[in-house]
Amino acid sequence: MASTQYTDRVIAGMQMLYGEGFLSPGGPDEMQVFLKDVDLSGCRVLDLGCGIGGAAVMLAEQFGAAHVTGVDIADDLIPRAQQRAREQGLADRIDFLAVAPGPLPFEDGAFDVVFIKDVVSHVADKAAQFRELARVLAPGGRLFCAEFLIGDLKGERRHIYDAWIDAMRLYGLTFEFEPFEAYASAFASAGLIDLVLRDHTALSAAAARRELAFTKGPDAGPVREALGEEKFAARIHASTMRMTALESRAFLHVHMTARKPGDA
């Protein structure tokens, strides 16, 4: 199994910025927007890239999933996720499993819903990933995917985007970003249908502005202490460049939904 790119300090700092249990921007507030009016009652849900369990807990606790299985290739995150489920009294409804990249260790049609938040941008072969997710979805099953995409890189936006990527490398993170067309093609090759795209970029840019204001403000001391001076400076730089990239639309954030053909 792979260990996480996130150090203990980074994990602590990210939770202060994004919310308990979350390692990506938006946290619980974005979950409420993405899954507004979604009822998961009775559903078996796969949380791909579960991290430290924040989304899995919400899927069970607030959206009514009958059972959530969280998986992540970073095996050192799994104990944190398990602890979070126990603390919330949900250990009987949520399982967490470390998996290797590639085929998932589940039967065909094992899940009614697949949920993914800002994870596929870590995957190089997106077509193979969505084919595997379609395999483990039951007929009529639904897929929810929130992701960052490459936007319009003409002119100055190219330089803005490159500066954002460089900032993330300085922070110790690497990604495999693609434009929406790559996702649409991957969904189609997986046989997923009824793809709906909702642009979340403006809200993500607003969240980035709030994050940057907080890190530069008087209440950021605990984050600075958790990260250390070098990582804290890199965090401010990365937040600045993400905000600029989102505001210019060189970088996009979207919510995508699709389903597997057949009757649920």
Domain ranges of the chain: 8-147+177-211+251-258
pLDDT computed for residue 168 by the predictor: 83
CA 58 to chain centroid, in Å, comes to 14
pLDDT computed for residue 5 by the predictor: 60
Residue 2 per-residue DSSP state: B
Cα first-last separation, the chain: 34
**Distinct helix (H) and strand (E) counts, the chain:** 10, 7
Class of domain 8-147+177-211+251-258: alpha beta
Q: Is 9 exposed, middle or buried (0-12, 13-18, 19+ CB in 10 A)?
A: middle
Q: What one-letter code names the amino acid at 35?
A: L
pLDDT digit string, tens, across residues 19-57: 899 988 889 999 999 999 999 999 999 999 999 999 999
What are the angstrom distances between the C-alpha of 112 and each of 144, 176, 191? 11, 27, 16
Would you say 171 and 244 are in contact if contact means Cβ atoms under 8 Å apart?
no
pLDDT computed for residue 4 by the predictor: 55
Cα distance between residue 197 and residue 3, in whole Å: 32
pLDDT computed for residue 167 by the predictor: 84
Residue 120's closest CA among 31, 180, 36, 59?
A: 180
- For the chain, list residues with pLDDT below 50: 1
Q: What one-letter code names the amino acid at 224?
A: R
pLDDT computed for residue 204 by the predictor: 94
pTM of the model: 0.93
